[in-house]
Chain A
Amino acid sequence: MSIVSIRNVSKDYMLGKTVVPALRGVSLEIEKGEFLSLAGPSGSGKTTLLNLVGCVDTPTAGTVVVDGRDTSRLSERALTELRLRTIGFIFQSFNLVQVLSVFQNVEFPLLLQGGLGRRERRDRVLALLDAVGIGSHARHRPSELSGGQRQRVAVARALVTRPALVLADEPTANLDSKTGANLIDLMKEMNRRDGTTFVFSTHDPKVMSHASAIVRIADGQLVGREAVGGDAAAAEGR
């Protein structure tokens, strides 16, 4: 079953008076449980596509359906709610809240959601911090952590609400290759453990080799989809 369905999507940006076509007629189905890599050179449209899937932007033409809902029909409020309940974000530059501790950064989406008690929140956050290997730094501020540690905190923040879909736009671009590989391993482990769908963009071939499937994009168009290893075969065999 698809968690994301993209049909004939185009996205144009206005740069002054010129129209910049960032995506041109893209169609893509993303299945639940996939660990999908979006690969392509810089300027090919990866970020634009992830923004549309992440409901932070809307397409110029075509439809984007996330978790069964057509995003072009949703109000700003409903889109925000959809992001809060269904999607987790991992950003290239981590984007942690500087004035909050590691614990508070990870707890924050739960506070936005409401519903959980103080103890439940605490237990879930601490368990997740342990799982991403940063449990001993719960009281630290982001500025006291290394890049790799910060991105682990960001992974925990993206996962804490147990979203159906996690989006990561070049999550390893600001990390050295070893730390980047560790992060991808961590994401993959979370994908295996909970079956969370991951979509991440990269132009680093080593990083994409960890994916279950690679979707290649160039000049705003999909140019191919290939399976990697055993996981991918399962996804392709739908």
Chain B
Amino acid sequence: MLPIDLLMASRNLTRHARRNLFLAGALATVTSLLVLLASLTAGIEHAMMESATTLLTGHVNVGGFFKVTSGSAAPLVSEYPRVLAAVRGAVPDVDYIAVRGRGWAKAVSETASMDLIIGGVDVTQEPGFAKVIVPLEGRLADLAQPGTVLLFQGQAERLQVRVGDVLTLSAPTARGVNNTADVRVAVVARNVGLLSAFSAFIQGDSLRQLYGLASSTTGALQLYLRRPEEAKAIAARLRATLSGAGWRVMDPDPQPYWIKLMQKVPSEDWTGQKLDVTTWEDEMGQFRQFIFGVRALTWLLVVVLMAVVIIGILNTLLIAIRERTREIGTLRAIGMQRRKVLWLFVLETLLLGLAGTGAGALLAAGVAGLVNLVGIAIPESMQIFVMQERLRFLLEPGAIAVHVAILTGVTVLASLLPAFRAARLRPVTAMHHIG
């Protein structure tokens, strides 16, 4: 029976090729829009995950704050080798752990100055760093030497410096005085979205010197996991392990460390060392919100467009039912059950839906593939948000299949109402000798 059902459904569609092509085209447009926007968002998210989690945060971070007085705070982990040992013990299968200094300084060149979030990095210990950083000038290995700094292209332009030039960093210390240090530009790297707007890296020990810190003090231990999706569970485990081992550990709070440093921690009434375990999602909160916002807008757009398409489909189905009233009555008279009439109309819409959404998905995949191949530059003002310099779509077959299924499903659901109406047509309508 199914082959003949399919035949009837598809022939009924092609019989009114123009109006059904129009509907399928509308469906294809909505689908391709959804797939394109979703894969663009996925591309941004992927780039964000890769670059941000290397430069700014590990998948899981063991950071913390040191307070000399209750009104001050510094983003420090003292006696970090002991913490590192405890962390390694708790997460033996970690990919690698980066020991990062955290700081904030004013960079002063001969002609300009700007505020920078300074990361203290040991490039020899961080395999992931070289994957994300693309040096335009200088060699990454040079950042291993003391007294060197890595700037991003935009910063170098703003400060009007090149590799080999010297900058003065001026940093407020916990004791309330400003320390300064001269650093040589070792690397100018390609911009990486928002991060490169305000963060730079210096050699780890140089950061300690700038702040006058002991060699056993650092900013955070950044854990890179083999399976990033386990970050939340591992963070919880680390909190338990570390507080069990006697450290004071802060309650989970999904905010980046520098917001805590500026707002929350100085207002709390305690002194000494506390550890803070966060995930990359905590540290990247605003970016996640941005992605969420883009997704919400995408779906809003899709819902509005789908509403229009569905009105078109309902309208067309009602016309089709009116045109086929006698045929439906005939089929009912010769013994077709109501649910079978329902099924025939649902099947017809299902075919239309699959054709439209399938074509839309293919179209979108083609366009996305082409754009990826050609490489379209993103305007600089937008690069900050998308963390990419070129438009890049991330096509995930699973996600595309889900989108096709959702839009087809919605189409079929919408067809149920007119289909029920067709199924209720009385067989006696076959006898009316009209038309």
Contact = CB atoms under 8 A, between A and B. Distances in A.
Interface in A87-130: 88-89, 91-93, 95, 97-100, 104, 107-109, 111-114
A2 to B, nearest CB: 22
A77 B338 CA distance: 8
Of the four ranges (under 10, 10 to 19, 20 to 34, 35 or more), the interface on chain A belongs to: 20 to 34
B321 to A, nearest CB: 15
A226 interface: no
B430 interface: yes
A230 B433 CA distance: 34
A56 B327 contact: no
Contacts of A83: 333-335, 427
A57 B428 contact: yes
A84 B335 contact: yes
B7 A113 contact: no
Contact of B430 (A56, A76, A85, A109): A56
A51 B12 CA distance: 28
A99 B333 contact: no
A194 interface: no
Contacts of A88: 334
A93 B432 CA distance: 9
B253 to A, nearest CB: 62
B200 to A, nearest CB: 70
Contacts of B7: 99-100, 104
A56 B333 contact: yes
Given A77-B337, A81-B335, A108 B427 contact: no
Contact of A91 (B4, B12, B431): B431
Contact of A85 (B4, B327, B335): B335
Contacts of B1: 111-112, 114
Contact of B12 (A93, A99, A169): A99
A56 B334 contact: no
Interface in B295-328: 326-327
Contacts of B427: 56, 80, 83
B145 interface: no
Contact of B330 (A50, A91, A169): A91
Contacts of B333: 54, 56, 83, 89
Contact of B334 (A57, A84, A107): A84
Most buried by B among A77, A88, A111, A113: A111
Contact of B428 (A51, A77, A113, A157): A51
Contact of B4 (A50, A92, A104): A104
B8 A100 contact: yes
A76 B333 CA distance: 11
B127 to A, nearest CB: 64
Contacts of A47: 431
Nearest to B12: A99
B22 to A, nearest CB: 20
A104 B331 CA distance: 13
A93 B433 contact: yes
Contacts of A108: 4, 331, 334
Contacts of A104: 4, 7
Contact of A112 (B326, B327, B334, B433): B334
Nearest to A50: B431
Nearest to B339: A77
Given A57-B428, A100-B8, A104-B4, A113 B334 contact: no
A161 to B, nearest CB: 8
Contacts of B327: 95, 97-98
A99 B334 contact: no
B332 interface: yes
9 contacts: A81-B335, A83-B427, A84-B334, A84-B336, A95-B327, A108-B4, A111-B1, A112-B334, A157-B334
